[in-house]
Amino acid sequence: MIIKEYTEILESTIAGTYLTLRLNAPKIAASALPGQFVNIRTGDGFDPLLRRPFGVYDRSGDTISVMVLLRGRGTRALAEKNAGDTISVLGPLGNPFPAPHPGKPPLLIAGGVGAAPFLYFARGLSKPKMILGARDRLLLPPLESFMSACELMISTDDGSKGSRGTVIDVLKQFDLSAHTVYACGPKGMFAALSEYFSAQPVSPLAYFSLETYMGCGFGACKGCSVPAPDGGLKLCCTDGPTFLWSEVML
Ligand SMILES: Cc1cc2nc3c(=O)[nH]c(=O)nc-3n(C[C@H](O)[C@H](O)[C@H](O)COP(=O)(O)OP(=O)(O)OC[C@H]3O[C@@H](n4cnc5c(N)ncnc54)[C@H](O)[C@@H]3O)c2cc1C
Ligand code: FES
């Protein structure tokens, strides 16, 4: 069931270009699962008109958190809110992450803010390995929570934190056939992963959690469609946001 809840901001923390909001959202928190997202009215009134989607970053008791990369009008409007303010949140939306295949431990791959949905997921797993990449150290999300929940391997394109190179360079150490892979990040990362997966002798069991532009968040506007290899379209909000890597064309 999709719930619209007027939630109080309990904490608002800005670190570099990242904002973390902890919201009192008892109804949504009661049913939100890892991999699902919420659609937030970011400004006051109807400006911006469209809500903005954010993965459930964490959940504890009656609260949920979101981690937001400050990009444009909507996210900057959110950054201007203070603890005690109320925001309208719709959720939980989309499908949860599929469970890891038995005998194939999860391997998480995140590009920048793509790490956001993995914290809550990782808390329910036993310290999964996570490869986290960004162009440089300033674009990495706050690391503390991830370090406690995951075995973190960091890469930056310029080598300013972790190993120099992309997530693919780190991924090359792994036997993909031994893992259930989950990836979330920018389009370029998905394109590089698709190319790498296509070159494997056996197609890996890998999921992509997509970030598209969205309108409604629940299947009504068709604004989030993604092309599929069979010529059809998938809706990121209701068919996803997580898809088998071979189910979508990016
Ligand atoms: C299912 C889902 C989960 C998401 N989870 C998170 C999350 O946990 N944390 C987070 O920070 N963001 C997440 N996003 C992306 C987030 O919704 C956008 O960053 C946000 O809508 C940007 O709003 P804005 O008004 O600040 O930017 P706008 O003013 O709309 O755009 C500013 C700039 O960002 C680019 N942009 C905007 N939206 C996207 C997008 N979806 N993908 C790529 N580029 C975009 C635009 O092209 C433009 O250059 C998620 C998106 C989806 C669909
Ligand atoms: S966002 Fe409206 S159909 Fe997906």
Could you give the CA distance from residue 95 to residue 31 in angstroms, rounded to a whole number? 12
Q: Which helix (H) or strand (E) holds 167?
A: helix 167-171
CB atoms within 10 A of CB 39: 25
CATH number at residue 88: 2.40.30.10
Low-confidence ranges of the chain (pLDDT < 50): none
CA-closest residue to ligand 1 atom 32: 72
Q: Looking at the structure, tell me whether residues 149 and 84 fall in a common domain.
A: no
- 233 touches ligand 2 (CB under 6 Å): no
At 127, give phi and psi (nearest 5°): 40, 65
Q: Is residue 44 part of a domain?
A: yes
Q: Is residue 46 part of a domain?
A: yes
| Total structural domains within the chain | 2
Nearest CA among 94, 141, 146 for reference residue 120: 146
Could you give the CA distance from residue 208 to residue 179 in angstroms, rounded to a whole number? 14
Q: Looking at the structure, tell me whether residues 38 and 156 fall in a common domain.
A: no
Q: Is residue 152 part of a domain?
A: yes
pLDDT for the residue 186: 96
pTM, two decimals, is: 0.96
pLDDT for the residue 46: 80
Q: Looking at the structure, tell me whether residues 128 and 204 fall in a common domain.
A: yes
Q: Looking at the structure, tell me whether residues 236 and 128 fall in a common domain.
A: yes
Considering every ligand atom shown, identify the ligand nearest to the alpha carbon of residue 139 and give its number.
Answer: 1
pLDDT for the residue 97: 98
pLDDT for the residue 44: 87
The residue range of the domain holding 174 is: 106-247
Q: Looking at the structure, tell me whether residues 27 and 137 fall in a common domain.
A: no
